[in-house]
Structures are given as structure tokens and as C-alpha cells.
């Protein structure tokens, strides 16, 4: 979900207004100048503010807050292939902390991105193969150029393989399943068994997966985790999507979340292609009165339509995940904090 500084405004104008506000703060003038340099190099229209998936909050230029913006760039030797990168700037940048860069694109050209590329982008400023960062130095441009080079190399390697099985149209795989493809149940077992690499942005977040629910070859896996801020939600969802088994599901990230910031409860949901499924999960969190939680259900379609039963399984998968994560074990006095002892498989 992309948005701007002022709700409903033009993205370029919103970014300009945001940068102007940053310029008013001596501690952030360096960040504002860096953004303007990026605009002059890549163009104003390719950079816009990131909004967390909640209708109640927008990007803030207030001191002490993180800054997040999205930039869309074409690969150097492939003008028709673009990637989207989320730039997250902590309050301590550039004095004592580097920014974080995250690949948002699920596909580069006709090829689905994999966890290796996703992880290497996240480690741009903390890896020997990435960009060296020095305290007090702005470095987003160097990081973006490094990512462009790596993504182009990754893309050209796949072009050279001529692997037509990876070809996609938009966000949908166009090839038909083959007998060699894993079944939905095999995919779900792989997801349950494999530990995804833990990146620095997920430190302190434990994603708990419940046992799969299987009905007529369709498989449903629920996951739950405690969150402390709405900005964590897109990062966690992208983290899950970095696993190829999750990414290949028919509905990878049906989700709902609630998070209390100060005295305000923020909440949102996403059907992820399964109409009304997200709102049902949101209703489940509401009636259970659980805050500071993200629940995600992944569904692999087994070829047989389940009708209304699919919603029953989605709700059960979500509830099982909440129970496995310990959210349903809380007494009434502590339930709304979302702080729970975690049980089950940690992801």
C-alpha cells in the first residue's frame, strides 16, 4: 500500500513537502539534501513516501522518527525491467547508523525473486560483499547502485539459463503444474520444516507457525507474531514472501493485524486475493480483543473448490496460530498487550 505525506495528494508534491519539512530541522538537513540529490539523479517521479498499511497514520518528519521512502529504478542495461526498493532511515542516520534497503519487487522481469537476493539486499551495509559505510557519511546512493548491479547480474543469470518454467505474467505464474511439482501438502511441510534466515530487521520478532490444516488437497497454514509498531507489518510479510514455498502459494499472506501506539489502536487487513478473508481475520482479532499482533494465513489450493469451508479453515488456521503463539493463554487483564509466552515452531 503506497501513500503520501498528505492523504490523497500528488506523490511528487507530497515528497517535496516532506523534504521541505526535513530541511527545517538542522539534524535532518543532511537527509533532506541526500533525497534531493537522489531526485536530481533518478528523477522526482520515481521517489515517493512509504506509508505503513494503516489508514490512521502517515509518514512523519518529526524528530526521533524513522523515515521511509520507496524508489523505483530500471536496471542499467535493461530499461524495460524495474525494481522497487524501500529505503528505511533510522533517527541515528547518518551519525551512528546506516540506512536499511529492502527489495520490494516480487519479480524482476519475468523471474520471481528468491530469498538469497532478498537477503543480500537487506545486508547491503552489513555485509563484506555490500557497501562499506562510515559513521557520519550519507550512503543511500552507493547502496542503490550496488543493488542495481547485483539485481542486474541476478537477472542476466536467469536469462542465460533460458528457464521457461520461471516465466510469469505480472504477478501470476502462467505455466501449468507438472507431475514433478510438489503438492500443496509437500509445500506446507517444507514451510513448516525450513527456518528462514533471520535478518536484522526481525530481531526480537518470533513468527510462530501452527500445524497445517488439510482438506481436499488444499492446505492452510497459520502464523502469528507480536508486533510493537505498524511499520513492522510490511517487513514481516515481505520476510515471509522471501521463502519460495510461501511465495508459490495461491494466497500467500492473507492477514490481519492490530497494534496499539500510545492511546490509538491501528488495524488493517488484506484478503490477498481471497475475497473477504482478511476482514474475517480482523473480526476474529476484534472479538478476541488481542492487540499488538499480526496473524497470517497461507493457502495452497489443491485443485478442488471448497466453497464456504475455505473461510472456516482460514479462521481455524489463524486461531491455531494465535494459540500456538500463546496469545489465547493470556488472562483478560493482560490479553490486550499481546505479550505472550511463545509456544510452537518459531520462524
Q: Could you tell me the pLDDT band of residue 177, with boundaries at 50, 70 and 90?
A: very low
Same structural domain, 30 and 111: yes
Residue 191 lies in a domain: no
In a shared domain, residues 218 and 152: no
Q: Which structural domain, as residue segments, surrounds residue 95? A: 9-158
pLDDT tens sequence across 88-98: 888 888 888 88
Higher-confidence residue of 281 and 123: namely 281
For 235-276, write each residue's pLDDT tens digit. Answer: 888 888 877 788 888 899 999 999 888 888 888 888 888 888
Whether the CB-CB separation of 158 and 164 falls below 8 Å is answered with no
Query: What is residue 246's predicted lDDT score, i.e. its pLDDT?
Result: 85
Return the percentage of the chain with pLDDT > 90, whole number. 20
pLDDT, position 35:
92
Domain presence at residue 243: yes
Q: Which of 123, 158, 193 is the last residue of a domain?
A: 158
Q: What is the DSSP string of 16-76?
A: HHHHHHHHTSTTTHHHHHHHHHHHHHH-GGGEEEB--S-TT------TT--EEEEEEEEET
The total domain count for the chain is: 2
Q: Which residues pair with 209 in a beta bridge?
A: 223, 345
Choice among 55-69, 122-136, 153-167, 168-182 with the minimum mean pLDDT: 168-182
* Percentage above 70 pLDDT, the chain: 76
pLDDT of residue 53: 46
345 within domain boundaries: no
Can you give the CATH number for the domain in which 53 is found?
3.10.110.10
Could you tell me if residue 341 is inside a domain? no
Residues 215, 150 share a domain: no
Rounded CA-CA distance 224/210 in Å is: 9
Is 332 within a domain?
Answer: no
301 assigned to some structural domain: yes
CB 82 within 8 A of CB 217: no
21 and 145 in one domain?
Answer: yes
- Predicted confidence at residue 89, as pLDDT, reads 87
Residues 30 and 133 reside in one and the same domain? yes
Say what the pLDDT of residue 62 is: 66
At residue 63, does pLDDT exceed 70? no
- Give domain status of residue 170, yes or no: no
What does the block give as the cell for 191?
514451510
| Rg of the chain in Å (alpha carbons) | 21
Are both 16 and 151 inside the same structural domain? yes
What confidence category does residue 334 fall into, taking pLDDT thresholds of 50, 70 and 90? very low
Categorize the per-residue pLDDT at 140 as very low, low, confident or very high, splitting at 50, 70 and 90.
Answer: very high
The CATH number covering residue 226 comes to 3.30.230.30
Q: 16 lies in a domain?
A: yes
Amino acid at each position: 500500500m503506497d501513500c503520501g505525506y498528505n492523504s490523497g495528494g500528488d506523490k511528487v508534491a507530497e515528497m517535496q513537502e516532506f523534504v521541505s519539512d526535513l530541511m527545517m530541522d538542522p539534524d535532518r538537513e543532511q537527509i533532506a539534501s541526500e533525497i534531493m540529490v537522489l531526485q536530481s539523479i533518478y528523477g522526482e517521479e520515481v521517489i515517493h513516501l512509504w506509508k505503513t498499511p494503516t489508514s490512521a497514520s502517515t509518514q512523519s518528519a518529526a524528530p526521533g522518527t524513522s523515515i521511509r521512502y520507496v524508489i523505483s529504478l530500471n536496471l542499467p542495461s535493461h530499461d524495460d525491467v524495474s525494481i522497487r526498493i524501500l529505503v528505511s532511515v533510522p533517527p541515528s542516520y547518518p551519525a551512528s547508523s546506516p540506512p536499511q534497503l529492502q527489495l520490494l519487487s516480487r519479480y524482476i522481469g519475468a523471474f520471481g525473486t528468491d530469498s538469497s537476493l532478498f537477503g543480500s539486499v537487506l545486508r547491503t551495509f552489513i555485509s563484506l560483499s555490500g557497501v562499506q559505510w562510515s559513521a557520519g557519511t550519507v550512503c543511500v546512493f552507493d547502496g542503490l547502485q550496488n543493488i542495481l548491479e547485483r539485481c542486474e547480474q541476478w537477472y542476466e543469470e536467469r536469462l542465460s539459463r533460458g528457464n521457461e518454467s520461471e516465466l510469469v505474467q505480472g504477478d501470476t505464474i502462467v505455466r501449468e503444474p507438472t507431475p514433478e511439482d510438489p503438492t500443496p501438502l509437500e509445500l506446507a511441510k517444507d514451510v513448516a520444516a525450513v527456518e528462514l534466515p533471520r535478518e536484522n530487521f526481525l530481531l526480537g520478532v518470533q513468527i510462530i507457525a501452527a500445524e497445517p490444516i488439510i482438506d481436499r488437497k488444499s492446505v492452510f497454514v497459520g502464523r502469528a507474531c507480536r508486533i510493537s509498531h505498524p511499520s513492522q507489518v510490511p517487513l514481516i510479510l515481505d520476510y515471509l514472501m522471501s521463502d519460495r514455498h510461501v511465495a508459490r502459494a495461491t494466497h500467500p499472506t492473507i492477514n490481519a493485524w492490530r497494534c496499539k501506539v500510545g492511546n490509538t489502536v491501528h488495524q488493517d487487513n488484506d484478503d490477498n486475493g481471497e475475497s473477504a478473508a482478511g476482514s474475517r481475520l480482523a473480526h476474529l482479532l476484534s472479538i478476541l480483543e488481542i492487540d499488538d499482533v499480526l496473524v497470517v494465513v497461507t493457502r495452497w489450493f489443491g485443485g478442488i473448490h471448497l466453497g464456504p469451508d475455505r473461510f472456516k479453515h482460514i479462521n481455524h488456521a489463524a486461531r491455531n496460530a494465535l494459540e500456538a503463539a500463546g496469545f489465547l493463554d493470556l488472562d483478560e487483564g493482560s490479553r490486550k498487550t499481546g505479550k505472550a509466552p511463545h509456544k510452537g515452531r518459531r520462524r
